[in-house]
Structure 1
Amino acid sequence: RTERAAPSPPSSSTMKTRVITATVSNPSSSTTSSRASAAAPPPAKRRDSKLWSETFDVRLGETQTLSPKEIKRQEAIFELAQGEQDLVEDLKLAKKAYHDPMLKLKIMTEQELNQIFGTLDSLIPLHEDLLSRLRDARKPDGSTEHVGHILTAWLPCLSSYTPYCSNQVKAKALLDQKKQDRRVQDFLQRCRQSPFSRKLDLWNFLDIPRSRLVKYPLLLREILKHTPNDHLDQQHLDEAMLMVQSVVADINRRTGESECQYYKDRLLYTEDGQRDELIDQSRTLSCHGELKNNRGLKLHVFLFQDVLVITRSLSLNDQPVSYQLCRQPIPIRQLDLEDLSDGEMRVGGSIRGAFSNNERTKNFFRVSYRAGGQVLSHYFQASDAFNKQQWINCIRQAKEAAAQTGDQAGQCLDTGLGGEIGQT
C-alpha cells in the first residue's frame, strides 16, 4: 500500500520502459552490473503498511457510518499521503546515509556525487509541501473531504522533475562505473546489509522519484473512481488528472531526448562511412539492448526512431561504456523483419534444420535490407522469447512510424517502450 523503493533494474533478460514510462521491461537502458556475490541477496523488506480504515475509526461521529464507496475513497487519499511520507523519508535517507558519508569519507568526489544524485535535494521540499497540505486537509476524525484543489495547485511543481529524470541515464552509467572501485563497492555492500536500506541498493533509492512520478496518474484515477459525480471535488480531480498526464508526458519526452543524446554521444565510428544523418537527426531511442548474432557474438543494438545501429560495447579504462559500430546503420524504411521459428535458421535463402544443440537456434529473428544491389541480412538471437517479442514489436512500430508522412513521421513512438532490453 505504501510507496517504497522500486525493485532493482531489470537484468538483461528483461525489457524496461523509458525512464519515465511505467516499467514494461524496456528494450534499452542501463546496463546491469555483476552481482557482488554468488549468493542471492535476501528479499527486500517491505515497510509496514497500514490502511486508512486501520488507522482511523471508519465511523463519523457516534452513529453515522461511511459507505463502502466512501471508505475506498478515503483509502485512496490516505495512500497518496502515505506515499508522500515514505518518499520524503527515502529521499532524506539517500542523502544522509549515502551522499553525505561518501563525500565526507572521500569515497567519491563532490563532482561525481553531484552527477549521480543530480537535483535530488530539490525534490525533498517539494514533496514535504504536498504532504503538509494533505495533512492539513485531514479532519480530526481522519477523513479528507476535498483533495482536488490541493493537487491542481501543487502539480505544476512536478516540472522540477525534468532535470532530475533527464540526468538519470548519465547517473546510472557513472554509478555502474564507480561500483568497480573497491571502496565504493565495499561501502554500498555494507549499506545494503544494514537494516536502514531494507536490503535495497543505492540505485533503488535514486530511482524512487521516477517510480513515484509514474504512479500519480494511477493514484488520482483511484481517487476519481470512488468520488461521486456530484461531489464538489469531482471537477478539481478531473483537472488534476489532465494536468498530471500532461506533466508526465512532457517529462517523459524530455527524458527520452536526453537518453537518446547520451547514447548518440557514446557511439564510436571506425570509419567515416558509418556516420549517418539519420542517427544525428534522431531525438528518440525506441529501444536498445544486447543481442547475439548467429555465431554467438554479443552485440549491442540500438533502434533509434529512423535507423537501426549494430555495435559492440567497449569498456575503455575508467570511462563509461562506449559502443563501436560494427556494421553500416540500417534505415528503418529499408529494413525488412522476419520472425524465425525455433529450431530453424534461414541461411543463404534456404531453411536448415535444427542444430545439434537446439538451444542455439531459439529466439532468433532476422533483419535484412538492400545495399549496392545485394540483400544483406543480420540474424539476432534474444535472451528469451519475451525479449524477442519485445524487439519484434518495437521494430514493427518503428517501421509503421517511419512509413508515415508529415509531422507524425518524426514523433516519438507512443509505445511505452524505450530504454534497454537488457542482458545479464
Structure 2
Amino acid sequence: MLTSKEIKRQEAIFELSQGEEDLIEDLKLAKKAYHDPMLKLSIMTEQELNQIFGTLDSLIPLHEDLLSQLRDVRKPDGSTEHVGPILVGWLPCLSSYDSYCSNQVAAKALLDHKKQDHRVQDFLQRCLESPFSRKLDLWNFLDIPRSRLVKYPLLLREILRHTPNDNPDQQHLEEAINIIQGIVAEINTKTGESECRYYKERLLYLEEGQKDSLIDNSKVLCCHGELKNNRGVKLHVFLFQEVLVITRAVTHNEQLCYQLYRQPIPMKDLLLEDLQDGEVRLGGSLRGAFSNNERIKNFFRVSFKNGSQSQTHSLQANDTFNKQQWLNCIRQAKETALCAAGQAGVPDPEGPFLDPAPGSREPRGETRLEQMDQSDSESDCSMDTSEVSLDWERMEQTDSPCGTSRHVESNV
C-alpha cells in the first residue's frame, strides 16, 4: 500500500515521463506536418527551413533515449523505484540544446519575414485550422524544446520534494538538479550573447560618427522594443549594457534592420525622468494639455548632454506596466554603469538619478530562456519586438551594492 507521499512521488515521475512522450510527438509532428511539406512543395527553400528549424531533428533521439530508460525501470504495477541515476547519466546530453536555443532569435525573425509571402501564410493558416495543430502555430511547436528545457529543474524538484530522506534516490536527484541548473545557466548565457550579436549586426549607421565602441563591446542586450516619441513616431529602442540606442525599423536587402535615429547615449551619462500622465502634449508642448487623452499616458524622458552634444527624448510605452519595466531596466543599467565607473550613489550633476519609489521592488525576473517569446499573438511587445533578460546575473557579483544586479521580467 503506497503512502500519500509516495503516491505524490509517483505522480511526479509519471509527469516527467509523460512530458517526454508528448515532446517527442510534437517534435516529430513539427517535422512531418510543417518542415517536410514546405520543402516538398517548394514553399520555402531548404536553406530557409534549415535556418528556421535549426537542429530540431537532433533533439528527438535524445528524448527518446530518456523515455526508453524511464520505461525500462517501470514496474509492472506502473510504479518506478529510482530515477536519479538515470537522470544524472542523461542530463549532460542536453548541452546540445546550446545551438538550437542560440538559433531561435534568427529563426523567428526569418519565419516572421517569410510570413509576408502569401504561400507561406496560406500554408501556415491551413495548418493552424487543422485538428493536428491544437490551435498552435508553427513557432509554438519550435519553441517547445526551449520550454521543456527550462521546466526540468521544476520537475526534478517536485520529485525530490516527495522523496523520503532515507531514499537512495535523494542524493542522485540533488545532483541531477545541480547538473540541469548549470546547463540551463550556460545555455541562457550563450543565448543572450547570440541575441545581442544578432541585433548588433542589424544596426544601420547613417554616418561613421554614430558607431560606438560601447555597442561593439556589448555582449548583453538588456531589453529592446518599440516606443513612440511625442510626435507619434515609432522608434525601436535597444538598451545594451552600457549604451542606449534609439533606432527606426527599416527594411534593408529584404531584412528587417534598425537605422540609428540619434547618437547612442552612454548609460553613465543618461538622465532619466518619469513623466506623469498629462505632462506631455503630443507635438512637443509640456504640461496640462489633453490630460484625459489616452495618447499622452505612459511617457518617460531620457536625456543626455556632453559638451556641445545634447539629446532629449520623450518616449511613450505601450501601457503602465510596460513603462515601469523600461524604467526599472534603465535604472538598473545606469546603476551598473556607474558602478563600473566607480560613481555608484553619486548624483548626476545635470539632474537627479531616479530610484524606485520607496518600498517598491522590481518584479522577479526570469531567465532569458524562460521569458523568450511565448506567443506571436500575446501583444505587440512579444519577443520579436522586445525582450528583457536576466543577463545581469552573468555580471560579476560582489558584496557591495554594485555587485548585486537584479533583472526584471518584462515584455518591454
User: TM-score under structure 1 normalisation?
Assistant: 0.79
- Aligned residue for 1:286, secondary structure, equals strand
Q: Which runs of 5+ in 2 are unaligned?
A: 345-389, 394-405
- Aligned residue for 2:51, secondary structure, equals helix
**Aligned equivalents of 1:418 and 1:251: distance in 2?**
18
How far did 1:301 drift?
0.3
Kindly tell me: are residues 262 and 386 of structure 1, through their superposed partners in 2, closer, same or farther at Cα, counting changes over 3 Å?
same
How far did 1:382 drift?
0.4
Aligned partner of 2:33 in structure 1 is 97
Contact conserved, 1:286 with 1:417, CA < 8 A, in 2? no
**Aligned equivalents of 2:65 and 2:150: distance in 1?**
19
**Aligned equivalents of 1:420 and 1:177: distance in 2?**
21
Within 5 Å, give how 1:64-75 maps onto structure 2: 64=1, 66-75=2-11
Kindly tell me: are residues 250 and 416 of structure 1, through their superposed partners in 2, closer, same or farther at Cα, counting changes over 3 Å?
farther
Aligned partner of 2:256 in structure 1 is 321
- Aligned residue for 1:165, secondary structure, equals helix
How far did 1:394 drift?
1.1
Aligned partner of 2:327 in structure 1 is 392
Given candidates 244, 255, 277, the residue that maps to 1:342 is 277
**Is residue 317 of structure 2 the alignment partner of residue 382 of structure 1?**
yes
**Aligned equivalents of 2:329 and 2:314: distance in 1?**
16
Aligned partner of 1:292 in structure 2 is 228
Aligned partner of 1:412 in structure 2 is 391
Q: Which runs of 5+ in 1 are unaligned?
A: 1-63
Give the aligned residue type for 1:248: V
Contact conserved, 2:39 with 2:49, CA < 8 A, in 1? yes
Kindly tell me: are residues 270 and 350 of structure 1, through their superposed partners in 2, closer, same or farther at Cα, counting changes over 3 Å?
closer
Contact conserved, 1:285 with 1:419, CA < 8 A, in 2? no
Aligned partner of 1:310 in structure 2 is 246
Aligned partner of 2:60 in structure 1 is 124
User: Can you list the C-alpha shifts for 1:261-314, whole angstroms capped at 9, x where unaligned?
Assistant: 000000000011100000000011011000001111100000011110000001
Contact conserved, 2:281 with 2:290, CA < 8 A, in 1? no
Aligned partner of 1:148 in structure 2 is 84
Aligned partner of 1:256 in structure 2 is 192
Contact conserved, 2:237 with 2:245, CA < 8 A, in 1? yes
Aligned partner of 1:223 in structure 2 is 159
Contact conserved, 2:325 with 2:410, CA < 8 A, in 1? no
Contact conserved, 2:269 with 2:304, CA < 8 A, in 1? yes
Contact conserved, 2:278 with 2:291, CA < 8 A, in 1? no
**Is residue 268 of structure 2 the alignment partner of residue 333 of structure 1?**
yes
**Aligned equivalents of 1:351 and 1:200: distance in 2?**
46
Kindly tell me: are residues 373 and 148 of structure 1, through their superposed partners in 2, closer, same or farther at Cα, counting changes over 3 Å?
same
**Aligned equivalents of 1:135 and 1:114: distance in 2?**
32
**Aligned equivalents of 1:74 and 1:417: distance in 2?**
35
How far did 1:350 drift?
9.9
- Aligned residue for 1:200, secondary structure, equals coil
Number of residue pairs the alignment of both structures matches: 353
Kindly tell me: are residues 404 and 277 of structure 1, through their superposed partners in 2, closer, same or farther at Cα, counting changes over 3 Å?
same
How far did 1:145 drift?
1.2
Greater relative contact order (CA < 8 Å, ≥ 6 in sequence): 1
Aligned Cα root-mean-square deviation (Å): 2.2
**Aligned equivalents of 1:125 and 1:227: distance in 2?**
29
Q: Greater CA deviation, 121-130 or 372-381?
A: 372-381
How far did 1:228 drift?
1.7
Aligned partner of 1:200 in structure 2 is 136
User: Can you list the C-alpha shifts for 1:224-263, whole angstroms capped at 9, x where unaligned?
Assistant: 1111222111111111111111100000000100000000
**Aligned equivalents of 2:208 and 2:303: distance in 1?**
22
User: TM-score under structure 2 normalisation?
Assistant: 0.82
Kindly tell me: are residues 320 and 418 of structure 1, through their superposed partners in 2, closer, same or farther at Cα, counting changes over 3 Å?
farther
Contact conserved, 2:325 with 2:409, CA < 8 A, in 1? no
- Aligned residue for 1:321, secondary structure, equals strand
Aligned partner of 1:48 in structure 2 is none
Instruction: Give me the identity figure in percent.
Output: 74
Q: Greater CA deviation, 295-304 or 134-143?
A: 134-143
Kindly tell me: are residues 243 and 202 of structure 1, through their superposed partners in 2, closer, same or farther at Cα, counting changes over 3 Å?
same
